[in-house]
Each structure stands twice: as structure tokens, then as C-alpha cells.
Amino acid sequence: MNEESRIKQDRFMQRIADRLGRPRLTEKPPHPHKGAPPDWRRFSLDREERIALFSENWQKAGGHVVRVPDLEAAKTYIAQKAKELGAYAIIRQNQPELNALDWQQALPEAEIVVWHSEQQKDLLRYAAGADIGITMAEYGIAYTGSLVCTSSGNQGRSVSLLPAVVMAILPAERIATRMGEVLAHFDGRPRAQFPAGIHFISGPSRSADIENDLTIGVHGPGVVFALIVG
């Protein structure tokens, strides 16, 4: 199949060049209009404005925002919410910030499974039945009200997707004003460090497919918390 595909590829590209009426291009063409308009790149909010705009957008989309002074307080808040919701099955990412917190002591009655490469459990199925997923967000975007999570052996895509409730911890200094600032982290990143999945999340899963009536939590989580730290 591979060799066949290579031959086909050549024909495909040649046809494009033929239709465009020139030989095939092998040099990278200059791209003068790359990215957002120049004025937009100068748009920058200060720290408190970024937090306020992110919070406003996240809440407008139907998410919850909680501001806490430190990670310990984030943990306490999550534990309290979990008790309120009667949550038992919890799944969390294997991230250093989360590992530094004593989850067992905060939630003695719950089962907390950590997502990592060596985990014995069927992680997908466990996440699909979990009440709460806990993750650190890598970046935030104020202008669109988005969190950014990436995948790795220690960071399952499922953790922010399959549980009924997702709690995402977002350190305030990771909130950018514009999407472009976050995309710059991926522009030109070497392949070995490139995550297979990059997910921008802007609120709870939603649909308006039945009579334009907004429904929350169609396939993904219906309840999403952003815990802003700092």
C-alpha cells in the first residue's frame, strides 16, 4: 500500500502543478500574510485583565470559575466539591503539580486512579465511568476563554473528556491574551516533543441540534471547573 501511495502522491502533486500552469514547486514560497494582522499581535492585557476576561468568557460558555491562592487550596476545593457531588471514581493526570498534593488524605473514601503508561487498569474504561477528571491546563487564552491540554503517557486525552465532571487547574501566569501566543509554542516545535493531541477546551460539551435548544454535556463533560491559581 505504501509504495502505491507514493506513486499516487507524485501524480497528485504533478496534476496540481499542471493545473496551475507551472512546474512543481520545491522551494518554500515566501508567505507575507502569515498569521493574524500585525495590529492584533500588539494587543496585550495585563494579568488581572487576562484573568477577568478568561473568567467572563468561560462562565458565558457555561463553565464555572473559582480563584484560589495556591495549589493546596485548589485541592481542598476539589475535595469539597467531590464530597458534595458524592463522587467515588476519580481519575487524574500524572503531573508533578498534582503529584505534590496529598489526594488520598483529602478524599479518603474515593478511588483515585492516576493516568500513566504503566497503570494496570483499563484506563479508557475507567475514565469513561469516572465521576471526576482532574488535570492541569498547560495554557489559558483570555480572549476566547479556552484551556489548552496536551496528550502524553502521563496525560490522557480521556481525563478531560470522558468523566461527567472535569476540574482543570490553571495557574494564572499561564493565561495568555491571544490564541496566537499559545500557538507560537507549537509553531516549529521539533517532532520528538510534539504531542499527538493538542486540545483547546472552551466550556462544557454542548449542542443545539434539537430545535435550537441548547443542551449541555452531550458527549463530553457537562460540568467543567476552571480553578485559577494565583
Partner 1 sequence: MRSAEPRTVQERARQALSDEFLRNAVKFTTERLRAGKQTASQEHGNWEEWRERARQIRLHTIAHLDYYLQEFVENARANGVQVHFADTAEEAAALTMDIAKQCGARSVVKSKSMVSEELHINQALQAGGVEAVETDLGEYIIQLANEPPSHIIIPAIHKNRYQIAELLSKEAGEELPPDTTALAGFVRRKLREKFLEADIGMTGCNFAIAESGSIVLFENEGNARMVTTVPRTQITLMGMERIIPTWDDLEVMATLLPRSATGQKLTVYMSGISGPRRAEDRDGPEQMHLIIVDNGRSLQLGDPHFQELLNCIRCGACLNACPVYRHIGGHAYGSTYSGPIGAVLKPALNKNVAEWDDIANASSLCGACYEACPVKIPLHDMLVYLRQRKVEQGVQSGEEKAGMKGFRYVMSSHKRYGRALRWGRVMQKLLLRDGVIKARIGPLKGWNQHRHTSPLPNKSFREGWQALERDIQRERTEMDEQIRERLHRHLNEREKGGVGDE
Residues 68-97 that bind partner 1 (CB under 8 A): none
Measured CA to CA, the distance from residue 164 to residue 50 in angstroms comes to 28
Report which secondary-structure segment, H or E, holds 228: strand 223-229
Distances (CA, A) of 150 to 54, 139, 178, 185, 193: 19, 10, 18, 12, 11
Give the nearest distance from C-beta 133 to partner 1 in angstroms. 12
Measured from the CB atom, is 79 or 205 closer to partner 1? Answer: 205
Give the nearest distance from C-beta 50 to partner 1 in angstroms. 15
Site string for partner 1, 106-145 (x = CB under 8 A): ---------xxx-x---xxx--x--------------xxx
Give the nearest distance from C-beta 109 to partner 1 in angstroms. 26
Measured from the CB atom, is 79 or 221 closer to partner 1? Answer: 221
143-172 positions binding partner 1, by CB under 8 A: 143-146, 151-153, 156-158, 161
The pair phi, psi for residue 100, each rounded to 5°, is -75, -10
Site string for partner 1, 181-210 (x = CB under 8 A): --xx-xxxx-x--xxxxxxxxxxxxxxxxx
Are the C-beta atoms of 175 and 148 separated by less than 8 Å?
A: no
Measured from the CB atom, is 17 or 85 closer to partner 1? Answer: 17
**Residues forming a β-bridge with 150:** 198
15-54 positions binding partner 1, by CB under 8 A: 15-17, 19-21, 24-29, 31-37, 39-40
**Residues forming a β-bridge with 177:** none
Length of the chain: 230
Strands 223-229 and 165-171: parallel
Count Cβ atoms below 10 Å from residue 113 Cβ, excluding itself.
18
5 contacts partner 1 (rule: CB under 8 A): yes
Measured from the CB atom, is 29 or 108 closer to partner 1? Answer: 29
